[in-house]
Chain A
Amino acid sequence: MDDFETATVTRSVDLDATPERVWDALVDDDQRSAWLGRRSRIDVRRGGPGKVTDDDGTVRHLAVEDVQPGRRLAWRWWPEQTGNCSTVEFVLEPVGPGTRLIVTERAAPGTTVAACRSAAGSGVSSALVCDRLTMLARVVGAAVVVV
């Protein structure tokens, strides 16, 4: 469905593969590069950065927004060249032995490349801070509560 009013494009495809197998194809860089554009690298965790190069050479930067293994992956991305920020959501549903994969891309209203970048930047840095605190906790053997 392409919907002018809600600015969304939705596609669904039924795959002869388990949700686990499809999930791997979404999150593994080498596997993803076989089907999403020419090449992609994504740090698949909330706030993680990524970069996808399309077949036509268009480079999109992205920030991961949601990771629910085997069920849902969402990111926000924006082409390097234009200010067209959008969100992408993958939902995996088991259908018999296979998987229905539903993809929704939505133009993000009221956002600019700068806004996308800063949203991504803050997500990345807070993820890094969390990682560092977790590492520190391991080193000192203490529990860390991130507020």
Chain B
Amino acid sequence: MKRVTAGNTALLILALLSAWASWIPANDGTLENSMNNNLVKTLSTSEDPWELNDAAKALAKGSDPIGHAAVATALVSSHFLTNLDSEEEYAGDSRHLRLASLLKVLAENETQSAHEILLRASESSVFCDNPARIDLMIDALTFIRPAPPRAITFWDKYSQPEDGFVERTIRQISENGSDPAIALLEKKLTSRDFEEEDRAWWIRRHVLGLRDNVTMLNACMRMLQGSLEEALRPGLVEVLFDYQPKAWYRPHDVPAAPDRSNASREALELLYLIGQSAQAELELDPALDFRITDELKTIDETLKDER
């Protein structure tokens, strides 16, 4: 990666900082914080990776708009990014980059401005110039719930066939589990751009964790009624009613099915409808048919008990 000189970058960063500060609402309580001023200066002038790491994380943990503005600017600066982690470090595990811990701090900071930093970086061509950074952004956005439209746009962009990110993105949007993320998952599950076997896997691996979620169940209803190819429908029904971890998953990635006793009444009612409709309309394997009958009986009893 090409490195830009510190002097030129400092001027650029100061200019960008001014622009950002005008966007962020003022917070007089921390604005004059001299420590933060030092940290901001470190971000724009230091070339030491640990100094940059410490300063950026310290600012990211707080809520000072000027500090956040400085981090936002740094994240779209190739000077900062290439000094924070070397080319050699980028060749290894992306989760081992210093950048990873900075993004996690931002993602876990529940202030709007911290999340705005992530979203701005996700739209930056400088930030997204490296696949390891894209990986980390895919992961970091998972913490923001409900997923904002810009996060959905980013995930959508990085979940295309054979792009090298799609498996990670599908994993993370299902982990996010908010309504917009589930809508994106439904879009990907019904997209003919992807091979059926990939989507069959996503159903088993990623729909499972959401199988008692009302939004997901509504999406399942739509998919079973027509938006999903017929060949994939039994698999979708199976994941809702007949969890088979030993048969389905590789040893290092065995997801747990949610405890159905915690499912809401609305979810159970939807499941009941889906089960009945699947038995009436789909050609099901007898073993699956039996499991659905069994599960419907349990659901029916639970619903009766709650009445």
Do A and B associate with each other?
no
